[in-house]
Structures are given as structure tokens and as C-alpha cells.
A and B are shown apart, each in its own frame.
Chain A
């Protein structure tokens, strides 16, 4: 095989960018003509470039695989972006084991979702615009995972946020959906602020070490290799830096306290939810923490915070997921919950387990979302109470959905089992008993609400008002579903743990770039035992759930009645939105209105500072314009006077 030439690296993110440019040109042209053209053109452009990127990414991956351990492909500095006395930043790409995994997920799952979108977005007015945004998203996401320094990552980070905003509010004529986009943007901004402060702190830490002068190479503070090589300089500030960066991660990856935007992000088209809000963008925080693992390893306190927040998010989101009736909302909370799992893994130092779960989650959650999209496409409704019995109408969708449900529930030998179990085992090993208990409990809830979702949607009698209209989706939508379902089924074999006779190849693949986990070796027998326990637990809960909802037993109703107030609290999502409203938004509004606007702005700034100064400026301006008589003789006189003044000043 020919090795991947490093000159081609920049092509991988550049191809979707080209797709974006072409598609936006088409979208503009269509908008100008006020008439959409044939949809085949934007769909071919929109899908071809991501697929080409994917092919290149596979090539790069295979090349990297053939190289020795710890090797990486680097584009070298494509251009010097900044070279100021304080810091120097190159624009460069890096393909190492971690980023190659991310690239494969982003371009692979991304390409499938692009293809799926052709069917889903059919006859939409914004067809070309949709594909241009989607391509732009891929470009920024690739920038995020491939950049070899934190600033390039940050460009991608902000870029995907922008695309997320654009796509959530894709149907912007509906003010509610536009508001959802705005909410996502604002909440993410809060996280990004933390991220930025983290970046500044890194700069500050290096400045403290007197590293601010010197040749450009020794000032490329933000590049991963430099950070890794000089991490001891960051040690004094490591906790503060990592906490700030983690705030950024909670925003992007929807963790407590900034998770509130993700459920609302479901206002966008469903493929967008699958790509951006399940498979790729929301995992950016996990990628970032894993990428800077060496830095987080210096801050045990931050790691504890991360695991606590991850666990709490996983539990809370799973509980909310139990009560939702909107098919996409259930999946959204499930995503939040699974992301919580990944952070839990990061928090206990099991970086490769987190990335492993990220990958398998991308497969099955994308499949679930696309499946739900297929259902919504058929039913034109998102409420599972109006569905049911769709198995016969949509066999492919239902089968793939079932496979993914089994995967996320952690039933062996599907993908979710391996990745989730690795997280549980690592939690047990490096975390603590209570953590393990809660995580196991949450896994049960996950299985419960997922089967609740599956059974109510696909089994039983049809509750849809027009059952005859229901139909299977076209092949452009089902083929990606099938591929993803297959991946969700077999993806776990990438990382079969040693106790089951596997080699955990995934773990070894990432081992070169990940800090080794600290702590004691586990006991194989114990590991097998716990594995059996969690499998048993997932199976039992799944069966209970199926039984409850398949037979329409009235237990749920009874339990709901019994614990009405608790149930309502969960149903209303723990009233977190209301809490934020009361604690943050309303006080800010009151202060801004009563004090900042009425007193500070109107009286102090407008009245005194602005108008006072502008009156003075206006007066002097009028004097100046009065001098400007328009007579050339006067002007010459001024010139003369100025000259004489100059002469006197100089010669005196």
C-alpha cells in the first residue's frame, strides 16, 4: 500500500469546505431565483465531498496503522498564523491514533448521515442551504479534531457551535425553533468563555515561567506537543486551567450545569440531531479532555469534579428520559446521560474507555436518531403515545432500532456492552464503590427507558390516526440505517477485553497517546463477575420493561400515581430551566432594567457622559465647520497663519 502523503492531510478538512462553498453558491442562486432547482445537484455535491474525505481518512488511518507505535502524521506548519512577541501559533494538522479515530467517526458517520439527509430533507425549501451548513459543520469538526494546537481546536470549536446554531434554527421562520437555536448559542457561549479563560491561563502559566521570549518554536505554547513536553510548567496552575477548560466541555458536551440546551436542540432536522447533537459535536468536550489527558492528570481535583459531574448528569438525564413522550427528547436525554458516562470514564482516568464509548455511542445513537427520523418522516409526529405497532409497517427501521436499543442497553455481544462495561469496570477499579453502584443503577434505567421507547413505538396496536399512510422510508434512508445498525452490533469487537479472550485492540491503539491509568491491577475473576452482574442487570431490567409496556400492565400508572409529586418533578425535567430562570435570568433582567438601564445607562452614561461629551464635540465641530468658509482666500490665510506660527515656534 502506498503511504498516505502528508501533503494531502489538509485536503481532508478542505473537501467539505469546498462542498460548503459550492452548495452555498447554489443556495444563493436558488434564493435569488426564488425557485429551487433539481435536488440532485446539492445532494451529490453534499455527499461526495464528505465521502471523499472519509476515503482519505481511511487511507491515513491504514498508513498510521502500518507505522510503528507512537508515530503520527503531521502536515507541518501550513502557515504561521500568529507570531507576536508573546506567542507563536502555526496552522497545522496532526493525525495521531486519537485524531484518526475521531476523523473516521466524523467523516464515516457524517457521510452516512449526509446520504440519509437526501431522503429526509426531500422537497424542503432550504435543501441546498441545509447541505451547505452540514458540509461546513464537517469542515469545522475536522478542524477541531485534526488541529495540532489548541487555537485551531478553538476555531473548530466555535465553528461547530455556529453550525449547530444555524441548523437548530434551520426552520427559522418558526420563532420557537429560532429561540431554541439562540438558547443553544448562548449556553455554549458561557462554556466557551470558560474555555477561553483556560487558554489565557495557559499563556499566563508559560509567561510566569519566563518563556515569553525566544524563537518561535519555543513559543508555540498551544501546540499539543509543546504542552505535553512542558507540562510541568503548567503544574502550578493545572487545577485552575483544567477546571476552566472543563467548563467549556460542559457547555459543548451538555453536562450539568450547562446541559439545558441539548434537549431544545431537537428543534432542528433529525439528521442534524443525529450528527451534531449525538454523534460528533457533543463529543468535542470528551475529545478535548482526552487530548489534554496529560494536563488533566496533573489535577486530581478536576478529575474528581469531572467524574462527579459525569455521574450526576448520567443519572439525572436518564431519570428525565424515563418520563418523556417525545421520541427525540428521550433520545436527547439519553445522549446527555451517555455523555455523562464518558465523562465519568475520563474522571476516573480511563481515557481510552471514554473514547471507545464515544465511538460505539456514535454508531448506535446515530442509528437511533436516524431511526426516529424515519419514524417521524412516516408519522409526521413525535409523540410516542400516537405511535405503536410500527414494526409491521416499517420493518427495516424497527429492526435497526431494535439492534441499537439492545446495544445501548448493554446486552452482549453488541457494541454498547463492551464499551459500557469497560467504563463500569474502570469506575470500579479506579473510582469507588458508590460510583460503581450509581453507574450500574443508571445503566439499568437506560435499558428501561430505551425498551419503553422501543415497545411503545414499534409494538402493540397502532395508535396513529392514519395507519394507512404509514410506510417504510426510501432506500437512501434505510441503507445508512442498516450500515449503522451493523456497526452498532459489531463495533464492540474493536475492544474485547482480555478477560474474554480479546486483545482490547482499541485500548492499545490509543495507548501511545493516552496517559496510563494509575492504580492497581484488577482481578480477572472479579472483572468477569462484575461483567456477569451488569449483563444480568441489563437483561432483567430490559425484560421487565418489555413486559410492562408490551402487556400494558398498569404498574407504571400506579407508580406514577403513588409518587405524583416526584414524577411531576422528573417529568418537568427537575425544573432546571425554571430554576435558571429564577436564579439567573430574572435577577439579571431586574438589575439590567432597574439599575443598568434606568439609572446607570439613562442617567449616568446617556445623560452625563454621552450627551455631555457629544454636546461638547458637536459644539467644537460646528466651530470647525464655521471656519471652513469655502473661500480659497480664507484657506490661504489660514495656511499663512499656520506657517508663521510654525516659524515662530521653531525659530524662537
Chain B
């Protein structure tokens, strides 16, 4: 028998999800009905749908009460992440809208034998909008439940959409190669995670994280849950792009269409971190003291490898890929300092949450700038392509510099405020070594973050002026990111407050 009350509360708990899913279906339909001209219509529908979902997510955030309805959990933390993820989705829509148009225009005007090929259908891409919507739905399911299988299905929904997005430039061999690599490795990682989940189910008899505290305490030598946890960690580390599970990152980030790279570097990471914090909190009830050591080793490796390897890159996108690896390292540092005598204290995650928000703004902004960097029939994202950008396109160069400085962590940008939060927790909880390592690697990172600035301003004028207006949607996202980066930098209090409120939901 269907309980109406139950349906209504389910409807309320997941309102943004239902809106996003519905919009996704409408987009799919629109694109199918007008395959030739549907791109712009789909874009508008998708954008509006997301905006409406964002509105309701904000209302949920303000209303405050926690709804735990069967498989859906709608608490402060979930709502924080829902808002963040939808923001990322919206910015991604703005970034990608003009990117494919630019690339299409360039390839239409350039030589027909260009790398993108003569028949590359690269106009306003309706499919991209639909895929974004479904990816965002997947991301929300990924953390908006305490049932591991629902989480897993969300993960797969997101991943499948992103696999396709990575390979979206069908005629570009790099895009295809990136999709193949991401797909094969991503599937293996998903399988690892799932294997871990099932083993844990076998050991604990529960899929639900919220039930873990009811299970009997295992002896510390229990074999099965340990293996299960390690397998799950492997799956997580892969999605979070942490060393030594990071090998796919540079190649995939380089090959994927630029806006998609930005989406992966932010959305996927944010969603995975959200679930990761939930899982770490639940694992407190299992004998898994070893997790904290694993995390610390991983932090050290990630910070070193991410920052060192970024130095020798020639491609800005690839450099940013390593940069995103190292930022995942800082984020994990923020979590790993939450361990006090083997138990994870989720209150440290407030700094991580703030970091995620700030990191998303600056990374999306940086990739938005790169999305404009399209030269005849190819993405012009080599360091050499930046030469003299400060003179030929001053606005673009200025905001890119801003994002680089923020990624480096210089005040008054959000990068500084975020890193400060993480490091101060590290010092407070007695992880001086990790904090020092974080600072040293930050200094190393100055080398590769400042290199674009040198290229743009101090290497003479460009050989030929690559002019062109910045398309309106992209301008919108650039302005939003730049304002956010500065605003969160000089006046972070309200957002830190939000993050703290959200972090209290992790128990």
C-alpha cells in the first residue's frame, strides 16, 4: 500500500534531485525532438532547471530541519554539498556553452583537415547539458544517502556521465584516449569500491552507515573489515585523485575538453569528498585504526608527487591536473588531522568544506579562462600559448593571474583563507609535521603557479594577437568566480560559518 505521507516527505527531502532529474529528462527529449537546433533551447532549459533546483536547495538549507527518509538523508551537510555541486554544475554549463561554439567556429573557419575533422558536430552542445544534469544528480545521490549501495549507484551515474563528457570531442583522438583511460581505470576503481562495500556488508551485515554503531565491536585483528576498508579506500583515492591512485589524472585531464576537465576537478572531487567524510565518520565504529596512518602516508605522497610533477609540465591543463592532485592532498591533510587516538573527529571537516568551496571557485575560474584559449582547430593550452596574453587580452590575463595566486594561496584570495584553515587545524591537533610539509610544498607550488604570470606579462608581446571577445556566458562565470575568490578571501566569516554548521551534521 502506498503511504501518501511517506511520498510527500520523500518529495520534500529530495526536491532538488527530482527537479534536476526532471530537467534532465526534458533536456533529453528536447534534444531528441530538435536535433539540429536544440542546443540553445536545451541549454536554457537546463540552466533554468538548475537555477530552480539551486533555489530550493537554498530554501532547504535555510529551513534547517533534518529529514532522514529511508534511503535519502537531507541534513545540513548534504544541503551544503547540494548547493555547492549545483553551483559547480551551473558554472560548468556556462563554461561549456561557449567552448564548443568557439571550437566549432574555429574548426569551421580553419582548414578542413584539422584535427577535429571536417564533420565534427561541435555547435552548442545539447548533450553536454543533459549529461551535466545527470552527472549532478549522480553526485547528489553519491552523498545524499547513508546506504552504501545508493551511494555506489550515484557514483556510477556520475561516472558514466563523466566518461561520455570526457570523450565528447568525438573527432579528437586525445579526447577519445582520455575517455578510454578514464573508463577502464574508473571501472576498475568502482569495482574495488563495490567489492569493499560487499565485503563490509558481509562482515558487518549492514549497508547503512548510520547502523554501523549498532554492530558488535570487532577485535582489532578482524581480517575481513580491514580488507574491505582498504578496498574502499582504494576506490575513494582513485576518485579523489590521490597518489598512488592518481596516474589517470594528468592524461585524462589533458585530453578531456577543457570545461569538462574543470568539472571533473571540482564536481567529482567535491562529491567524492562528501561521501568520504561520511564514511570516515562511520568507520569510527569499526576497528580500523590503521586508516589514519594510511591517510597520512597518502597525504605525504600526494603533496610531494603532485607539486613536484607539476613543475616540469608544458601544458597548462596538465599542470592544473597535477595542481588538482596536490589540492586533493591538502584536503586529505585536513581530514587526516582529525584523527585523535584512532578516532576520526568530523569537526575538522569544516575547514575541508570551506576549502572545497574555495577550491571549486578558483579551479573552475582557471579552466574557464583556458576554455577561451582556442586557437585554430585546437585547444591552445601550452604554456607557450600564454605568451603576451597580458597585452593581447588583459582582462583574461588578469583574472587568470588572480586564480593562479589563489591556487597558490596568497592573501587576500580564498586560497589563503582555505589553506590557513586547514593548517591551523593541523597545528591545533598537533600534526606539526604535516603542516610544515604542507607549507613547504606550497612554496614549491609557487614555481608552477607563477609561471603562467611570467609567460603572460614578462615574455614579450605575442607573435600574433589572438584577439576576440570573451563570450557572454563565459564572462559571467569568470566574473562570478573572480568575485567569489576575492570575497571569500577578504570576508570568509559567513562561509566558514556555513561550513561549520554543515560539519556539525557529521556525527
Contacts and interface: CB of A to CB of B under 8 A. Distances in A.
State if A and B touch, Cβ cutoff 8 Å. yes
Nearest to A620: B308
B407 interface: no
B311 interface: yes
B222 to A, nearest CB: 11
B230 A650 contact: yes
Given A624-B309, A625-B312, A642-B244, A651 B226 contact: yes
A536 interface: no
B223 to A, nearest CB: 7
Contacts of B244: 638-639, 641-642, 645
A83 B234 contact: no
Interface stretch (B133-141, B200-208, B247-255, B360-368): B247-255
Indicate the member of B185, B230, B447 with the most A CB atoms within 10 Å. B230
Contacts of A649: 290, 293-294, 297
Contacts of A621: 308-309, 311-312
A622 B305 CA distance: 11
B217 interface: no
B309 A639 contact: no
B501 to A, nearest CB: 15
Contact of B227 (A79, A638, A645, A651): A651
Interface string A610-652: 0000100110111011011010101110110111011101110
A624 B312 CA distance: 10
Contacts, number: 80
A647 B308 contact: no
A225 interface: no
Contacts of B188: 636, 639
B366 to A, nearest CB: 21
A621 to B, nearest CB: 4
B309 A625 contact: yes
Contacts of B297: 649
Interface in A355-394: none
Given A621-B312, A624-B305, A647-B227, A79 B491 contact: yes
Contacts of B290: 649-650
Interface string B125-165: 00000000000000000000000000000000000000000
A380 to B, nearest CB: 36
A647 B230 contact: yes
B285 interface: no
Interface in B178-235: 180-181, 184-185, 188-189, 192, 223, 226-227, 229-231, 233-234
B493 A80 contact: yes
B71 interface: no
Indicate the member of B188, B308, B312, B491 with the most A CB atoms within 10 Å. B308
A623 to B, nearest CB: 9
A638 B308 contact: no
A344 to B, nearest CB: 39
Interface in B341-367: none
A632 B185 contact: yes
Contacts of A651: 223, 226-227, 230
Interface string B271-303: 000000000000000000010011001000000
A226 interface: no
B239 to A, nearest CB: 13
Contacts of B185: 632, 635-636, 639
A82 interface: yes
B294 A622 contact: no
A636 B316 CA distance: 25
B308 A632 contact: no
Contacts of A625: 309, 312
Contacts of B180: 632
B263 interface: no
B383 interface: no
A580 interface: no
A81 interface: yes
Contact of B308 (A624, A634, A635): A624
Contact of A642 (B223, B227, B245, B493): B245
B238 interface: yes
Interface string A119-157: 000000000000000000000000000000000000000
Contacts of B245: 639, 642
A646 B229 CA distance: 10
Contacts of A627: 247
Contact of B247 (A79, A635, A645): A635
Indicate the member of A636, A642, A647 with the most B CB atoms within 10 Å. A642
Nearest to B305: A624
A83 B495 CA distance: 12
B247 A639 contact: yes
A630 B251 contact: yes
Contacts of B233: 646
B444 interface: yes
A79 to B, nearest CB: 7
Nearest to A83: B493
A345 B189 CA distance: 77
Nearest to B248: A635
Nearest to B312: A621
A636 B184 contact: yes
B299 to A, nearest CB: 14
A82 B192 contact: no
A628 B311 contact: no
B230 A617 contact: no
Contact of A82 (B238, B248, B251, B493): B493
A627 B308 CA distance: 13
B238 A639 contact: yes
Contacts of A82: 493
Given A81-B491, A651-B226, A617 B247 contact: no
Contacts of A618: 311-312
Contacts of A641: 244
B312 A622 contact: yes
A242 B293 CA distance: 51
A482 B294 CA distance: 79
Nearest to A613: B444
B181 A635 contact: yes
Contacts of A83: 493
Contacts of B293: 649
Interface in B301-345: 305, 308-309, 311-312
B242 to A, nearest CB: 10
Interface string A560-572: 0000000000000
B305 A643 contact: no
B294 A646 contact: yes
A628 B283 CA distance: 33
Nearest to A81: B491
A647 B493 CA distance: 42
Nearest to A646: B230
Contacts of A624: 305, 308-309
B408 to A, nearest CB: 16
A208 to B, nearest CB: 22
Contacts of B311: 617-618, 621
A609 B345 CA distance: 39
Indicate the member of B247, B248, B444 with the most A CB atoms within 10 Å. B247
Nearest to A624: B309
Contacts of A628: 247, 250-251, 309
29 contacts: A79-B491, A81-B491, A83-B493, A614-B447, A617-B311, A617-B444, A618-B311, A618-B312, A624-B305, A624-B309, A625-B309, A627-B247, A628-B251, A628-B309, A632-B180, A632-B181, A634-B247, A635-B181, A635-B247, A636-B185, A641-B244, A642-B234, A645-B244, A646-B230, A646-B233, A647-B227, A649-B297, A651-B223, A651-B230
Interface of B: 180-181, 184-185, 188-189, 192, 223, 226-227, 229-231, 233-234, 238, 244-245, 247-248, 250-251, 290, 293-294, 297, 305, 308-309, 311-312, 444, 447, 491, 493
Given A617-B308, A639-B189, 4 more contacts: A81-B493, A621-B309, A635-B248, A650-B290
**4 interchain residue pairs of minimum CB distance:** A642-B244, A635-B247, A621-B312, A624-B309
